[in-house]
Amino acid sequence: MPPRVVVCPSCGRKARFSEEPYRGHRVLIRCRRCTYEWWVEVGLEADTASETSSDTALQEARRLARFIVHEIRYYHQDFIQKAQSRQETLEELKDDLALAQTALSFPDPAGAPPAGLGPISRSPPRDFAGGEK
């Protein structure tokens, strides 16, 4: 039987491994390059291959999902910024409206306008030449 090729999950280094003396057992393998250790089930190649392929598929799906989210954010960044600025504007308008409602609900008994609204002009309107209409 030819030796089995194992790949280090950490650094990707490939190595040959003779299964004959270990058939039906779990073997702890240590990578010579990075000293990472992992267990290999000898004689259960189909299970190991399916686990490896499902792990690889899961990692690829996660990478693809991150890429899609990044692209969506990139292509819609103007829309997101406008929505955030609209939300900020709405919040400021709500605050101003609440302030105005508070100021108008408690009028000054002396007849002065509420604070922050400025003086009210009681003079008649004038035309552009400076005279009265």
Query: 14 Cβ partners below 8 Å, 6+ apart?
Result: 5, 6, 7, 8
pLDDT band at 92 (very low <50, low <70, confident <90, very high): confident
pTM, to two decimals: 0.32
- pLDDT value, residue 13: 92
Q: Residue 47's pLDDT band (boundaries 50, 70, 90)?
A: very low
Query: pLDDT band at 112, cuts 50/70/90?
Result: low
> How far is 49 from 54, CA to CA, in rounded Å?
9
Q: Where are the beta strands (DSSP E) in the chain?
A: 4-7, 14-17, 26-30, 37-41
Burial class from Cβ neighbours inside 10 Å (0-12, 13-18, 19+) for residue 39 reads exposed
- How much of the chain exceeds pLDDT 70, in percent? 68
